[in-house]
Amino acid sequence: MDPIYSDHTRVDERSLAMHRLVARKLLADSTLLEKARENVCRWRRIEGSPSLTLSEWEKILSGPVEQTAKFLVEQSERATRLRQSSPFAGILTEAERKSIYESYSARTYHPGGQSNLG
């Protein structure tokens, strides 16, 4: 039986593709990590109450850039969950984001060369 791919799977894979590019950019320019740290600090101020997700990101972002980049492309449940609330907004250009979004649009995305229309 062929696997069924849901929109959720497509969105998770798109997020992973975006974070692969973020990881490459971080490894090329470690100062970009500061932007993510600033985002977490800003969200913490806005949130006002303790957040497990923000605490997890703070811990990840406090490590070496290589460790953070490795986590961004990890295919674990935890990494997938945290990529849904990524502090790396502003790292990718609009053109980079658009290219990835187009690659993973419902009309063009066919994992394994098979239709994802159900």
In a domain, 80, yes or no: yes
pLDDT, residue 110, reads 56
pLDDT given for residue 82 in this prediction: 97
**66 belongs to a structural domain:** yes
Q: Is 64 inside any structural domain?
A: yes
What's the domain range around 26? 7-108
**Of the candidates 103, 86, 95, the residue with the CA atom closest to the CA atom of residue 39:** 86
pLDDT at residue 24 in the model: 98
Separation of alpha carbons 3 and 56, rounded Å: 32
Cα–Cα distance measured from residue 36 to residue 115, given in angstroms and rounded to the nearest whole number: 36
What would the two tokens of residue 43 be? 């969200």
Counting Cβ atoms within 10 Å, is residue 72 exposed (0-12), middle (13-18) or buried (19+)?
Answer: buried
The verdict on residue 58 lying in a domain is: yes
| Number of domains making up the chain | 1
pLDDT in tens, the chain (118 residues): 444 456 788 889 999 999 999 999 999 999 999 999 999 999 999 887 778 999 999 999 999 999 999 999 999 999 999 999 999 999 999 999 999 999 888 666 656 444 333 3
